[in-house]
Structures are given as C-alpha cells and as structure tokens.
C-alpha cells in the first residue's frame, strides 16, 4: 500500500491537536485515518485515543485500541490513564492484566494510574500484587510511583504501610505529602494530618490548592479555629486566598466554627465564586442560626443566574424551615426537578423537614412516600415531623415500620420519639423508649437524650425522679440537662430546688442570661419581688444581657421580624389597633392575662400591657391584617412561647376562626378553634 502524503499526516495531527467540537467530527477524522492507512500509526492513534476520552466514550476507545495490530506501551498507558480518568477502575485493572499477558513491560507512567485504580476500588490485595510488580520492574524508587503506593495503602486503611513507603521517598514532593496528609484524615487523625502539613512547610515546599483544602478541612473537623486562622494567614502570604477552591475551604472552615463574619469577608473577597462557594455560605448562615441572611444570599445567587446544587438547596430549605417560610420553601424547591428530591436522600430529608416545620404534614408525607431510597435519616425526619406536629402515636407507628424494614434506629430516632413524648406529656412511653435504647437496641443514651427525659419528667411534676436521674447519670450533666429540670421547677413553682439547680447552671454557663431570667420568673410568680430584683442586679453587675425575643412571619414571600413592643414596622399603627381589638374580644370571652410571667413588680395594668405586645402576638396581629381569612398563620419564635401567650393564642384562633401555627425553641403549637396540638401540656 502506498504511503499517505506527509501533508495528510500533518493535517490530521494538527486537527487532533486543535481538538473537536463534536464526537461526529472526531469520527470523520477516524474515517480519514482508515482511508489513508494511518490507523496503525501508533503516534496518531495515541493522540486519537486521548481525544476519544474527552467525549467519555470508553467503548469506542476500546474498539480503536483493539483494532491496533501492534500497540506500544504508550497506547497501553493512554488507555489505562483514560479509563481511570473516567472512573472505570475495574476496566483499567483488566487492561493492565492484559498488558502483562501480552508481555509488555509497564513503566513509571503506567503504575501511578494502576495504583490509583486499586486505591479507588479499595482493593488492597491487588494493590499488593501491583507493588510486587513495581519492585520487579525496578520502579520502586520513582517518586510518582511511590506516591501512588502511599495513596493506595492510606486509602485502604493501612496507614502504617503508607507511612513506611512515604519515609522511603528520598525526594518527597507536594503530591507525596498531600497523599500522607489525606491518609491521616481518612482514618480521622486530623491533628496528625495538620502536623504533617507543618512538616511539609518546614521542608520549604509550597502546597498546592488541593493540599490547602485538605488541611483546612482537617481544621474544620477538629474545630481548631486557631490553626485555621494560622493557615489563613499563610494562604494570604503565598497569594492563594482568592483561589476559588482555597477560598471556599476557608469559608467552610469559618462557617463551621461559627464565625460567619470572617466567612463573609473571605467570600466577598473572592474574585471567582462557583456554586460550591455560594452553597458553603448559605449553609453556614442556615446552620449558625441566621436564616434571613441565608435567604438574602440565596436571592443574590439567583441574580447571578446560578442554579442551586444539593447543598445550596438544603441550606435554603433549612432556613425556610427555621423561619416557617412555607411559600419561600415551595418556590425554592421548584427550582429543582422534583425527581431530584425523590432520588437524593439528603435533599428529600430537607424538604420533608421544611414541610413538617411549616405544619404541612401531608406534603411532608407525600415526599416521604415518594422517596426512591429511604435511608435512616429520611425515616428520622418523618418520625420527627409527626412527633413535633402532635401526631405522636403516628410517630410510634412509623418507628415500628422502621424496624420491619430492617433499619436499625439510631440516637436521632430516639430523640424524635422522646421529644414527641415530651410534647404530648406521655411520661410512661418516654421512660419506655429511653430505657429501651440501651436494653433493646444497645445504644448508649447521649447527653441530649438525658436532657429530653429530664425535661419530660420535670414537666410532669416528677422533679425528684428527674433530679435523681441527673445524679445517677454516667456522664456529667450539662446546661441543657439542668435547664430542663429548672424549667420543671418553674412550672411547678419549686423555688427551693430551682435555686439549687441554678447554682449548677451559673457554674456551667455563668454568662447565660436565660439561667437568671428563669429564676427571676420563678421568684416573680411567687411574688418574691425583692429576690427577683436581686437576680436582675446580679445580671447588671456582670454585664449579662437578656437575649431578645424575636418572632418571624412570612407574608407574600417576605419574612417580617418582630421584637417585644416593636413599633418599627411600617404597619405598626394597624398592628396595635388589631391588638386592642383582640384584647376587647379576648376579655369578652373570659380571658384574664397571666401576669405572673412578667418579671417586674409593676402595676397589674402595666403588666397586662407588657405581655400584650410580646413578639409572637405582634406577628399574629400582623398576619391577621395581612392575609386572607382562610390562610394559615405561621409564626416562628427564637425563644419559648410564654404561658400567657399560649393561652391567648388559643382564644385568638377561636375568635378569628383561623388556624395559627407557632413554633418556638421548645415545641410546635398548632392552634385550631381554641385547642392546641401540644394537648395543653404546658
């Protein structure tokens, strides 16, 4: 056969170098290779195979490779590398075996990709066999090959072997150090990973973006903000702060440490932001109790025409759940195909949680029923949704189904059940579930579970039992546990035990205003005004500020915020007029303000005015004048709803014939025609 003109070879070569806009164009070039007899030119075929892998067409690559009569080692390497790059690890290993059978000698370009395939498959046995071939072929001193071995052993959990190989590398590069750092992180040794990073810097090696992302992740996992700030300073020093991957890792690190101001500074300083960067900020705001900021940033992201990913969607749905912003949550979820929620357990769980916390239990159930894959987290979300909405028996039933499906419950499952028992006042059931954790399911109750059962017993008036349970705890009780008992003391006016409990709380959280305020409430309820004043004086002396009570309500897609006695809202005049109108109707219905919840020794008339403008009442009044008669009013409060407001809202729902849903830090209240979902268990 006559050799093709050199111009044809150069033309095809240049075409392969430039690349292709479509797979069809690439097939045209293949036709020319066949037509001019260049289909056996290993140099051109090697370039052609690389082009095929850019279109992720592995089967076509196999076809071209198998038609090559005498492939050289470069073609074998290109095939193995291409398959590994497309996550076809089993195929890559099979091709490596075929290469050996064909008596081809692998080189230092072959082994790193073969070892990577073994690592990604967690195939330690095959990895050992490849290691032996590396030694036989004389490449056991090559830095890239040895780095591949470090990754393999570290990924398979054999960190000791990984460290031995790492120590044998004479000239360690950044990739080698990153491999061992990742190995330590893979088994949860984050402190050691940071130590290795410092060792790398001592060798005067400059880390790349991937290394910095890994070490910042280690700081996040440890909650080591001090080291994280040190890494941030180093990042700024080497000019990597505005790298999109490093910047996102910094945002994530600060967000997980609760420093959203630092996270926002990094975020705003990034020249390039991808969807992961936006998601990290949105989730950070949502998880740090700043739901309005999360939604504001989500709106800003929309203006950038960025489609939310899974993490952004989870963050915004979490924010909507926190605010009770149902309409916003429905709108946000409509930006992603419903099937993505039904096939992604993380997103599905977030949507179930949002609907449940907005009181739309039927919609939450529809999502739960439609989920293609229900893992334990999905079941927990639905059980918790039922429990918080007052359907505790249904939650118990779903728990029984969970066991029938062979899914082992975890601590979160029992938290949902115990919280449901607390809301409904089911003391016997609460005791049963609490004790069954250890006796039946071999689960060790955590501090949160103890806090829940203590709260349940305290509310029921079993203060001695709750106190004894705390004394017998195998772990040291924290402020949440003692706080549950203190709340029980308040309900049942046991000031003697309350004072004892408060000493513990002040010791544990000396700057927490809630401890002092609750004790002051107890003294006030028993008309011990001097003692209440003494508590307030102590707060003033120590500079302790009472946490302001906020309530949020969503109307027409906008979240409105209210403080106690707030008059900053544009419709304040109409809101207070509505409150006055409600006050007259409530009085006619026999309502008497429960002034014992006021902290100050003031005249009864003043007390009535003070409790009459609590933030949740302002939000409800605004809802009544701003929504249609059949609309459900949803209010979220950052603190507990006081007993007076609870009693008043029940009557307001009856007088106005409106369904009012209020969610506070303690429970979910659904007021309908003078009754409440928490069964008056107050």
Which range has the worst mean pLDDT, 147-161, 319-333, 597-611?
597-611
Quote the DSSP letter at residue 638: S
DSSP class of residue 672? E
What integer pLDDT is reported at residue 668 of this predicted model? Answer: 65
Q: How far apart are CA 568 and CA 350, in angstroms?
A: 33
Mean pLDDT for 86-98 is 92
End-to-end CA distance of the chain: 96
Highest average pLDDT, of 4-8, 210-214, 484-488, 554-558, comes from 210-214
The DSSP string of 619-655 is: HHHHHHHHS-TTSPEEEEESSPPPHHHHHHHHHHHHH
Residues 426, 427, 433, CA angle at the centre, nearest 5°?
Answer: 90
> Rounded distance, CA 569 to CA 583, Å?
20
Weakest-pLDDT range from 191-195, 283-287, 423-427, 501-505: 501-505
Tell me the per-residue pLDDT of 228-262, one tens digit each, with 9 for 90 and over: 999 999 999 999 988 999 999 999 999 999 999 99
Average of per-residue pLDDT across 308-313: 93
> What pLDDT is recorded for position 620?
92
Number of helical (H) and strand (E) elements in the chain, helices listed first: 37, 6
> Which stretch, 389-393, 454-458, 537-541, has highest mean pLDDT?
454-458
- Cα–Cα distance between 546 and 500 in angstroms, integer? 21
**Average pLDDT for residues 161-167, to the nearest whole number?**
89
Q: What is the pLDDT of residue 600?
A: 40
Cβ(241)–Cβ(235) below 8 Å: yes
Q: What pLDDT shows up at residue 269?
A: 92
- Looking at every residue in the chain, the average pLDDT score rounds to 86
DSSP state of 462: -
Amino acid 160: pLDDT: 87
pLDDT of the residue at 228: 94
For 231-283, the DSSP string reads: HHHHHHHTT-TT-HHHHHHHHHHHHHTT-HHHHHHHHHH-S---HHHHHHHHH
pTM of the model: 0.75
On whether the CB atoms of residues 379 and 373 are closer than 8 A, the answer is no
Question: Residue 344 is inside which H or E element, if any?
Answer: none
- Is residue 604 over pLDDT 50? no
What 3-state DSSP class applies to 481? Answer: helix
E strand or H helix that includes residue 406: none
Output the pLDDT for position 281. 96
Residue 200 · residue 223 · CB < 8 Å: no
**Residue 562 Cα distances to 47, 132, 290, 432, 608, angstroms:** 66, 70, 15, 40, 19
| Contact criterion met (CB below 8 Å) for 423 and 390 | yes
> What tokens does 488 get?
């029980």
DSSP H helical ranges for 39-142: 42-54, 58-66, 73-85, 89-101, 111-120, 124-137
Which helix (H) or strand (E) covers residue 177, if one does? helix 174-186
Q: What pLDDT band is residue 673 in, cutting at 50, 70 and 90?
A: low
Instruction: Label residue 682 by pLDDT band (50, 70, 90).
Output: very low
- The Cα–Cα gap between 262 and 595 comes to 43
pLDDT of residue 46: 85
Residue 272 vs residue 41, higher pLDDT: 272
Q: Does position 601 have pLDDT exceeding 80, yes or no?
A: no
* Of 271-275, 380-384, 596-600, the least confident: 596-600
Rounded Cα gap, residues 86 and 81, in angstroms: 9
**DSSP characters over 375-409:** -HHHHHHHHHHHHHTT-HHHHHHHHHHHHHTTPPP
pLDDT at position 32 is: 78
Helices 111-120 and 143-155 pack at an angle, to 10 degrees, of 10
- Per-residue pLDDT, 681: 42
Output the pLDDT for position 7.
62
Distance, CA of 287 to CA of 404 (rounded, Å): 33
Cα 678 to Cα 424: distance, rounded to the nearest angstrom = 6
**Does residue 278 have a pLDDT over 60?**
yes
Position 608 scores a pLDDT of 42
Q: What is the mean pLDDT of residues 85-114?
A: 91
**Mean pLDDT for the stretch of residues 58-77:** 89
Burial of 248 per CB tally in 10 Å (0-12, 13-18, 19+): buried
**Cβ neighbours of residue 192 closer than 8 Å, sequence gap 6 or more:** 184
3-state secondary structure of 552: strand
The residues that bridge with 668 in the sheet, in sequence order, are: 663
pLDDT at 599: 41
Residue ranges in 494-614 assigned as alpha helix (H)? 495-508, 513-525, 529-541, 572-588, 604-612
424: Cβ contacts below 8 Å, ≥ 6 apart: 390, 392, 678, 679, 681
Q: Quickly count: other Cβ atoms within 10 Å of residue 123's Cβ.
A: 19
Token pair of 655 as six digits: 């007088």
CA 176 vs. chain centroid, Å, equals: 31
Q: Which among 299, 514, 280 has a CA at the least distance from the CA of 522?
A: 514
For 505, the token pair is 């709380």
Q: Which two tokens stand for residue 204?
A: 């005067």
Region 166-173 average pLDDT: 87
| pLDDT band with cut points at 50, 70 and 90 for residue 5 | low
Provide CB contacts within 8 A for 517, sequence distance 6+. 546, 599
Cα(30)–Cα(52) distance, integer angstroms: 10
Q: Which of 54, 77, 14 lies closest to 65, judged by CA?
A: 77
pLDDT number for residue 368: 96
Separation between Cα atoms, residue 496 and residue 187, nearest integer Å: 49
In whole angstroms, what is the distance from residue 363 CA to residue 369 CA? 10
* Residue % of the chain over a pLDDT of 70: 93
């Amino acid at each position: 056969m006559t050799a093709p003109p050199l111009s044809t070879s150069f033309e095809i070569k240049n075409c392969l170098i430039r690349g292709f806009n479509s797979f069809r164009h690439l097939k045209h070039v293949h036709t020319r290779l066949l037509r001019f007899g260049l289909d056996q030119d290993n140099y051109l075929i090697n370039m052609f195979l690389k082009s095929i892998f850019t279109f992720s067409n592995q089967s076509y690559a196999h076809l071209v490779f198998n038609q090559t009569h005498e492939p050289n080692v470069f073609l074998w390497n290109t095939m193995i590398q291409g398959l590994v790059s497309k996550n076809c690890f089993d195929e890559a290993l099979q091709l490596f075996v075929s290469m050996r059978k064909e008596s081809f000698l692998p080189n230092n370009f072959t082994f790193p990709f073969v070892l990577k395939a073994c690592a990604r498959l967690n195939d330690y046995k095959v990895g050992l066999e490849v290691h032996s071939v590396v030694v036989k072929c004389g490449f056991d001193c090559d830095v890239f090959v040895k780095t591949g071995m470090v990754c393999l052993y570290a990924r398979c959990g054999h960190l000791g072997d990984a460290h031995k190989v790492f120590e044998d590398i004479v000239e360690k590069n950044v990739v080698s150090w990153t491999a061992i750092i990742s190995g330590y992180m893979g088994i949860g040794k984050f402190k050691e990973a940071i130590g290795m990073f410092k060792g790398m810097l001592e060798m005067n090696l400059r880390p790349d973006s991937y290394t910095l992302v890994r070490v910042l992740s280690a700081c996040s996992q440890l909650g080591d903000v001090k080291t994280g700030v040190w890494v941030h300073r180093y990042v700024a020093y080497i000019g990597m702060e505005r790298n999109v991957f490093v910047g996102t890792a910094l945002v994530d690190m600060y967000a997980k440490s609760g420093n959203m101001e630092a996270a926002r500074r990094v975020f705003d300083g990034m020249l390039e932001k991808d969807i992961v960067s936006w998601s990290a900020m949105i989730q950070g705001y949502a998880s740090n109790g700043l739901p309005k900021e999360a939604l504001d940033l989500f709106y800003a992201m929309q203006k950038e025409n960025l489609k939310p990913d899974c993490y952004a969607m989870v963050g915004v749905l979490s924010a909507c759940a926190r605010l009770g912003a149902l309409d916003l949550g429905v709108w946000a979820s409509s930006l992603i195909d419903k099937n993505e929620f039904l096939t992604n357990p993380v997103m599905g769980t977030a949507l179930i949680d949002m609907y449940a916390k907005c009181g739309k239990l039927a919609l939450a159930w529809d999502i739960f029923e439609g989920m293609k894959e229900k893992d334990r987290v999905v079941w927990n979300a639905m059980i918790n949704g039922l429990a918080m909405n007052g359907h505790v028996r249904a939650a118990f039933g779903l728990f029984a189904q969970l066991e029938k499906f062979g899914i082992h419950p975890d601590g979160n499952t029992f938290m949902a059940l115990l919280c449901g028992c607390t809301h409904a006042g089911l003391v016997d059931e609460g005791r049963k579930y609490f004790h069954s954790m250890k006796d039946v399911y071999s689960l060790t109750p955590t501090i949160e579970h103890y806090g829940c059962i203590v709260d349940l017993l305290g509310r029921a008036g079993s203060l001695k039992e709750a106190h004894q349970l705390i004394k017998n705890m195998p772990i040291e009780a924290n402020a949440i546990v003692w706080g549950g008992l203190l709340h029980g003391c308040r309900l049942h006016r046991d000031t003697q035990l309350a004072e004892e409990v408060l000493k513990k709380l002040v010791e544990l959280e000396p700057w927490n205003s809630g401890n002092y305020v609750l004790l002051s409430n107890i003294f006030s309820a028993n008309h011990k005004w001097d003692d209440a004043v003494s508590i307030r004086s102590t707060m003033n002396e120590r500079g302790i500020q009472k946490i302001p009570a906020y309530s949020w309500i969503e109307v027409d897609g906008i979240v409105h915020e209210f403080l106690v006695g707030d008059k900053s809202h544009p419709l304040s005049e109409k809101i207070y007029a509505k409150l006055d109108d409600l006050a007259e109707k409530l009085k006619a219905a026999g309502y008497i303000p429960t002034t014992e919840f006021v902290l100050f020794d003031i005249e009864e008339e003043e007390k009535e005015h003070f409790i009459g403008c609590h933030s949740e009442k302002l939000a409800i009044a605004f809802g009544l004048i701003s929504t249609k008669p059949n609309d459900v009013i949803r209010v979220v409060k950052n603190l507990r709803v006081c007993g007076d407001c609870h009693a008043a809202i029940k009557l307001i729902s009856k007088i106005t014939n409106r369904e009012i849903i209020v969610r506070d830090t303690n429970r979910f209240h659904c007021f309908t025609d003078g009754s409440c979902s928490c069964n008056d268990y107050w």
